[in-house]
Structure 1
Amino acid sequence: MLPDKDGPSMGGGTQGTEGKEDPSVTLFREYLRLRTVHPAPDYDAALRFLDRIANELGVPMKKVEVCPGRVVAIMTWVGTNPALRSILLNSHTDVVPVYQEHWKYDAFGAVKDTEGNIYARGTQDMKSVTIQYIEAIRRLTAEGKRFARTIHMMFVPDEEVGGHKGMETFVKHPEFQQLNIGFALDEGLANPEEAFTVFYGERSPWWITVRCPGSPGHGSRFVENTAAEKLRKIINSFLDFREQEKQRLDISECFTLGDVTTVNMTMVNGGVAYNVIPAEMDVSFDMRIPPTVNLLEFEEKIKKWCQEAGEGITYKFAQKHMDQNTTSTEDSDPWWNTFSSTCKNMNMTLKKEIFPAATDSRFIRAVGLPAIGFSPMNNTPILLHDHNEHLNEKVFLRGIQVYEKLIPALANVPAVAGEA
């Protein structure tokens, strides 16, 4: 039986003498309980929640329907010099599905255990960051602070299903251009060690289906040139390459997952009956390609595998991201210098990496804007999309303090090249 409330002694060290929970944690848990989960995310509930937050903060919120039923919400805190390019704090409202039978608690119950660990889908990816933005802004506005640059908090749909009806479409929208963005923060990953991981680029996601036609016939015969024979060769080519890349990662102390190409076979289709040799079979792969790889040459490699496997083989991309822009992490870059020096002043160690998966940052970088992926979660196992996803309330609360320092620093960056 799943508990529907906390036990008698919850806390993790952040409750007061009367057992009161920090209001920021309470708000976080409320947001986690909203079922913005695919395949039918309750986006209306998220928008109602955000409407309330905007009223509490005293900032306007604009809603832009970028696709039917897909709304981007933007809260704006106008700076003292709105002519300067703005700071974007981006987050997505949707979360991935769960297998409830594998969870200790209700995946949308936001149960907090005796160690202060909060269990819910979205604790790490990325509802924690959303609330950390909000609570940092709440504290800064309550103190009467003002900064030179305008700050936008943006909440987008559909990131977890590729962003096609979310950020990918919105960056081409006039409303996005009007935000006049100079620098963006978006989600990162937890780090099990003391350091905080920072992502300055991403691997390009390629989702490909290879279709293999062949000679049909009765299942009792040795039919030549079958679809399955071609399929086997295709699978071998892709998975042999996968093994090569895995070996590169295993033998190099310098490489991280974001530095190599991952290949995973995710779907196989074909056939109608046990005793009928199919006329066609197909196989799908999820590939993530680092910015160091020449994408045109990589596609030529795929073409060669198809040619070697037999005649008539074709392929089609469900997703083929070609942009390989990265954000500068040179000390001479004013944005990176401000970000990294502010973290250093908080005694935070940063570890720079290429993001191994895909986030909305890739669409922001694709239109020429600098973006850093950062979720302030150190000493925390990486559990995004995993069973029993959780985050400790101490880590969550420290993240608010981190943004309390980062947001003012970034919003007060002096005019950079191209600004008056």
Structure 2
Amino acid sequence: MATVEDSAVTNFREYLRIPSVHPNVNYDGCIEFLKKQAKSLDLPLKIYTVVDRKPIVVLTWQGLKPEEKAVLLNSHMDVVPVFPEKWSHKPFAAEKDDNGNIYARGSQDMKCVGIQYLEAIRRLKSNGIRLKRTLHISFVPDEEIGGVDGMEKFVHTKDFENLRIGFSLDEGMASPNDEFLLYNGERSIWHIFVTCPGTPGHGSLMLPDTAGEKVEIIMNKFMDLRRREKAKLESNKNLTVGDVTTVNLTQIKGGVQPNVVPPELTVGFDVRLATDVDHEKFEAMIKGWCKEAGPGTTISYEQKNNFVPNTPLDDSNPWWLAFKKACDKLKLKLKPAIFPGGTDSRYVREVGIPALGFSPIINTPVLLHDHDEFLNEKVFLQGIKIYEELLQAVANV
């Protein structure tokens, strides 16, 4: 006889079937789904609009002491694009195989966590448990394209201030082994473009001061830095990619045809600054490279994150102590690290709120943004039990 599916898994699969995929995401399906969840949980729901068609949905479970600082449980509704022909299952069908693996875009990143928050609260409420602090469960837009019209703007509004957040949880990453990854900081994302003007002309000539010569200098400088950071990472087994500055050449623009020397060339780099890098010194170094390349060479930025301190993992942070105590009680192997990419936690930390990134996913291949992204239902259900303990711990600080 077929096993009856846990209602939490059914809710998870329903959420996954909503194609809140870039570009031009329509969040209406997510809003209707979350309204239904709020009703079933008997929780008030509020929709904030900072940018039109970019809703921020917040469900609230009021604590016994609402005057105390609240806890934010954040997740994002949007998911990255898919290439259906590369998937063995339809990417928005949430199909479950005989091993209990649920295939769908967003199964790891990060619709799982949003549902796990809600299902953990459902279980706590059904057991008559009340928490000291209020929980705000937020579902935000556009995280996958930088959160510019989502959390980045929301944290600077009066509506966010009125939530009175003292601590935040957000996404982490799947772990291929039995260690639960915990992130207390993120590198600063700089998307850098260097534009090099030069002498244009016929491709048969040896013209002076060409854009290509300047670009060569710039590319060599960035790639030399990349080699040094790569060597640092490879020489120390205790380091992860989040501990070094990564540099990747991502775009080269310019030129019209092979026999015409262009008047201008532009190169783009994705740079993620390690948390110990001095931003002013780093920018001064790049400006020095531009000066060395030659007159007219300029820098522009598509994205340039400010320096944001890591959330401390020591006795100065009572939220961390409560979180760690709950993990110890559950005998979880925690591995603290710096997140290799970027999440909405950087905006929360930037306004002075401690934040941790944590997804209770172990023994699972890391498939966020990849083809055939999946999460096993047993791992998903285990995560709900973990959140039952974690939410009680941090909301009763």
Give TM-score, length-normalised by structure 1. 0.92
Which residue is equivalent to 2:340?
Answer: 356
Give the one of 269, 272, 279 matched to 1:295: 279
1:332 Cα offset (Å): 4.8
Which residue is equivalent to 1:263?
Answer: 247
Please give the residue correspondences for 1:3-402 in structure 2 after superposition, counting only pairs within 5 Å: 17-402=1-386
Matched-pair contact (CA < 8 Å) for 2:12–2:112: yes
Matched-pair contact (CA < 8 Å) for 2:189–2:304: yes
Say which is worse superposed, 197-206 or 106-115, in terms of deviation.
106-115
Post-superposition Cα deviations, 1:114-153, rounded to whole Å, max 9, x if no partner, equal 2211111111110110110011111111222211100100
1:95 Cα offset (Å): 0.7
Which letter does structure 2 place at the counterpart of 1:116?
A: G
Structure 2: how far apart are the matches of 1:59 and 1:409?
A: 21
Structure 2: how far apart are the matches of 1:220 and 1:36?
A: 52
Number of aligned residue pairs: give it: 397
Tell me the secondary structure at the aligned position of residue 83 of structure 1: coil
Which letter does structure 1 place at the counterpart of 2:343?
A: T
Structure 2: how far apart are the matches of 1:87 and 1:105?
A: 37
Tell me the secondary structure at the aligned position of residue 319 of structure 1: strand
Which ranges of structure 1 fall in alignment gaps of 5 or more residues? 1-16, 414-420
- RMSD of aligned Cα (Å): 1.1
Matched-pair contact (CA < 8 Å) for 1:202–1:357: yes
Give TM-score, length-normalised by structure 2. 0.98
Matched-pair contact (CA < 8 Å) for 2:120–2:385: yes
Say which is worse superposed, 306-315 or 325-334, in terms of deviation.
325-334
Post-superposition Cα deviations, 1:343-385, rounded to whole Å, max 9, x if no partner, equal 1100101111111111000000000000000000111111111
1:303 Cα offset (Å): 1.0
1:223 Cα offset (Å): 2.1
1:224 Cα offset (Å): 2.1
1:403 Cα offset (Å): 0.5
Matched-pair contact (CA < 8 Å) for 2:279–2:307: no
1:262 Cα offset (Å): 0.4
Matched-pair contact (CA < 8 Å) for 1:34–1:42: no
Which ranges of structure 2 fall in alignment gaps of 5 or more residues? none
Which residue is equivalent to 1:404?
Answer: 388
Structure 2: how far apart are the matches of 1:302 and 1:92?
A: 34
Structure 1's 194 and 77: CA in aligned 2 closer, same or farther, altered over 3 A? same
1:99 Cα offset (Å): 1.9
Percent of residue pairs identical: 52
Say which is worse superposed, 38-47 or 357-366, in terms of deviation.
38-47
Structure 1: how far apart are the matches of 2:89 and 2:260?
A: 46
1:310 Cα offset (Å): 1.8
Which segments of structure 1 move beyond 4 Å, counting only runs of 4 or more?
none
1:296 Cα offset (Å): 0.8
